[in-house]
Each structure stands twice: as structure tokens, then as C-alpha cells.
Chain A
Amino acid sequence: MRETYKIDHQLQLVNAIKDNDSLALKTFYTSNYRKVELLVLKNSGSEAHAKDVYQEAFISMWNNIRNGAFEPKNDSALQGYLYTIAKNKWMDILRSKRFKVTQSISEERQLFLTHEETIEDDGYTTKLNIVMEAFQGLGQPCKELLKTFYFEKKSLRDIAAKLDIGEHSVRNKKYRCMEKLRNIAIASK
């Protein structure tokens, strides 16, 4: 009975994260950081390392929830999962030659940014990174609109009400923004 409840709770958490529920994401993010930080600090890393490694791990975890690679099995499954990803990432960094040879922070950080631990093939990861970069540099109005619609999963009607324009124009705007993003991504290939 109790076990069932715990797994239910995990399922709720996993579903909330899948839906990009802002509160669930934030709570989960803030309550699991310190453990990872402690691990990195005790293993010749800095606070900046800890933050990078944790954020990388968090995004990997999120993607693996999304694509179904992660299924909760017990009460602390997701917490443990996040910690394990972060730990593996940090171990990889420690093992890497560049970390041993140079202690320059910028270079280490560069390593984080290019280092991806995902189950997808490299071609896909590259594509995703191109889109992410393109989206990062997209104009603010488009960026905001696409973020609200695709990430926060607000309805066109809600967005229209917030921007005080017609639902139809939001729909058109969204389409044009997607085209813009797609063209930048294609061009930067």
C-alpha cells in the first residue's frame, strides 16, 4: 500500500516535469542541488563546475523523461537518477586529459558545453544544439511567444488574451516565428 503510494508520488512528479510545470521543476531543481555540489567540491571541483555539471545532468534527465528512457520504480528513483547522471558527468570530466593538463576554467567550461551524454546519435545532438543556439539568438518577441507556447504550454487563447490581440494573429505570429527559427537553423548548418 505504502509502496504504491510512493510510486504514485514519483509518477506525479515525473508527469509534472514532463509537462514543464514550473513549480515542480523549480522545487526539484533546488532541492537536489546541494548533494551534487558536495560531490563536486569534494572531488577537486569548484562551485562553477558543480553548477554546470548539475544543469547538464538536469537537462539530460528532463530529455530522458520526455523520450521515455526513464521510468520511476521506487520512491527516490528520480532523485537518484539525477544524482547518478551528474556523478557520471563529473567523473568523465575528471578522467578527461584536458582537465588534468590545464586548470583553466574557461577551457573546462568549454568542455562541459560540448560534452553530451545522451542516448541519441551525434548527428541528432548536433542538430538539437544548432536549434538551441538559433533559438537563443532569436528576437525577443518571437522567443517569448515560442517559449510560452511550446515550453510553458499555454493555449493560443491564453496568449492572445495576455498580449491583447486576436487569437488568429497569435496563430500567424507563431507560424512566422517558427519559420524564422527554422531558417536561422538551416542557415547556420
Chain B
Amino acid sequence: MKNNSDISQELLETIEQYYSNTMPEQERKAFELRLENEPQFNSLVEDIKTLILGIENQSLKEQLDTFHQDIPETTSSSSSGFFSLRKLAAVAIIILTVSGFWWLSTPQHERLYSSYFKPDPGLPTTMSNTSNFEFYDAMVDYKQGHYTTAISKWEALSQKSDTINYFIGVAHLANKNEMKAIPFIEKALENKTFAFADDAYYYLALAYLKNGQIELAKEYLQKSSVKNGKSILLQLE
């Protein structure tokens, strides 16, 4: 790098423009012509380019060390053994960090939801009841946690009772899809004498809670006499 005269602020900015490809077409042509015909100008521009590239290279280099600390641990590639203390410590730190982060970053209503939500246990499925085979077949899937399968089987039924709507709704909720759950549960509740109204209000409230619509959640919790509902209400106040 030669000390060939001072570089003015203006020249520096012109070179920046050229380097970052933001120079207008016409100006660019004139600039390139100068580069070709004036060796001294050319070497000045090269020097500035080297400066910028050097800044970028060094910045990247320094950043790589930070990146390196975040490389995920793998379990297969180690020669020092999976249960080495260092690894266990690292895993523990990761778990703590992740859960701490979850705790900090998750809104209160989401946390409440997660601590209270348990899928509706479902209806008993006895082999003797053959009159409504499809419904109970899907109930078996539901109880095994195959919510998507259960939903599609229930949705295929031609006659949809309030009970079916209710279970489609809670299956959606168990499937972490509260937006889909809400309309089904609300539909079931349109029947004022619905047998599972108490549970339905409770799950509807939970769906709204997950969704962040706290006021609606409170409203429906008040309509339900499920025990947990009361304690959620207390925590929401």
C-alpha cells in the first residue's frame, strides 16, 4: 500500500459506490475509463478496495468464533464418549437456556395454557357398541393421540352431532391448532342442552387463552364449573 497522496472524502465515497455496485451507469463508464488510463488512480482505488475487503474479512473472522460457540452438539461423532462431564454440562446449559428463554419469551397466557391444557380423555370405547362404529373407531385414534386421523374420520361422517363437533374441536386443540378448534366447539355449544357443555366452555376458554384473547377466555371460564377453570381465572385476574 503506497502513500500516494491523500484520499479525499469524496473520492472514498465514489469508490464505495463503485465497489458496492450502486454507481449510476454513466458515471460508472467514466470511472472505469479513468481506471484504465490512469495507473496511479487505479492503484489508489485498489488500495481502498483492499481496505474495505480487509475490514470485511477481519470482521467475518471475528464473527466466526462467536458462531462456533453455537454449533449444536452431536451424539454420534465423539471419541470422548457421550456421557463425558463436559458434554452433560453443555447439554444442561442448553436445556436451561432454552427453557429460560421459553419462560421469558412466552407470554403469560401461553404459559398458563401449557400448564393447564390436557386433552379431553375421550369417551369409553367398548367393543359391544357397534351402532356407531365409525365414531368410536375415530375415538380410538383420538385416545392414542392420532388427532389428525381422528379428525379426518370424524369429518367424514355424514351426520355431525354436537358431540362429534366437540371432539373435532378438542382434537384440533390437542393438535396445537386452536384457530381450527374454536369454531367446532362453538358449534357444539349452540345446543343449549349439550351434555358436555361444562367441558366445552372450559376447552373453548383454553383455546382463546392460547390465542391471546384473554377477555373471551375469562368469559367462558366463568360459564364452566370445571375445577381447573377457577384456578386459571384466579391467575388471570
Contact = CB atoms under 8 A, between A and B. Distances in A.
Interface of A: 20, 22, 25-26, 29-30, 33-34, 37-38, 41, 51, 55, 58-59, 62-63, 66, 124, 127-128, 130-132, 134-136, 146-147, 150-152, 171-172, 175, 178-179, 181-182, 185-186, 189
A136 B7 contact: no
B64 A55 contact: yes
B63 interface: yes
B171 to A, nearest CB: 34
Interface stretch (B67-75, B93-101, B133-141): B67-75
B116 to A, nearest CB: 35
A134 to B, nearest CB: 7
Contacts of B64: 29, 55, 58-59
29 contacts: A22-B63, A25-B63, A29-B71, A30-B67, A33-B71, A34-B71, A34-B74, A37-B77, A55-B64, A55-B65, A63-B57, A127-B1, A128-B50, A130-B1, A131-B51, A131-B53, A131-B55, A132-B57, A135-B55, A150-B52, A150-B55, A150-B56, A171-B9, A172-B9, A175-B12, A178-B12, A185-B1, A186-B1, A186-B2
A41 B80 CA distance: 12
B50 A127 contact: yes
Main secondary structure of the interface of A (DSSP, over half): helix
Contacts of A62: 57, 60
Contacts of A132: 54, 57-58, 61
Contacts of B57: 59, 62-63, 128, 132
Contact of B60 (A34, A131, A151): A151
Contact of A55 (B47, B58, B61): B61
B3 interface: yes
B59 interface: yes
A41 B79 contact: yes
Nearest to B19: A150
A22 B63 CA distance: 9
A139 B120 CA distance: 63
A172 B60 CA distance: 25
Contacts of B59: 135, 147, 150-152
Main secondary structure of the interface of B (DSSP, over half): helix
A29 B67 contact: yes
Contact of B54 (A38, A131, A179): A131
Contacts of B1: 127, 130-131, 182, 185-186, 189
B77 A175 contact: no
Contact of A41 (B58, B65, B70, B77): B77
B204 to A, nearest CB: 38
Contacts of A147: 55, 59
A63 B63 CA distance: 15
B61 A59 contact: yes
A145 B5 CA distance: 24
A186 B50 CA distance: 12
A135 B58 contact: yes
Interface string B157-177: 000000000000000000000
Interface in B17-72: 47-48, 50-65, 67-68, 70-72
Contacts of B71: 29-30, 33-34
Nearest to B67: A29
Given A25-B67, A29-B67, A41-B77, A182 B54 contact: no
A128 B53 contact: yes
A41 B77 CA distance: 9
A30 B61 contact: no
B84 to A, nearest CB: 13
A30 B47 contact: no
Given A175-B12, A182-B47, A186-B1, A134 B54 contact: yes
Nearest to A176: B9
A126 to B, nearest CB: 10
B3 A186 contact: yes
A151 B55 contact: yes
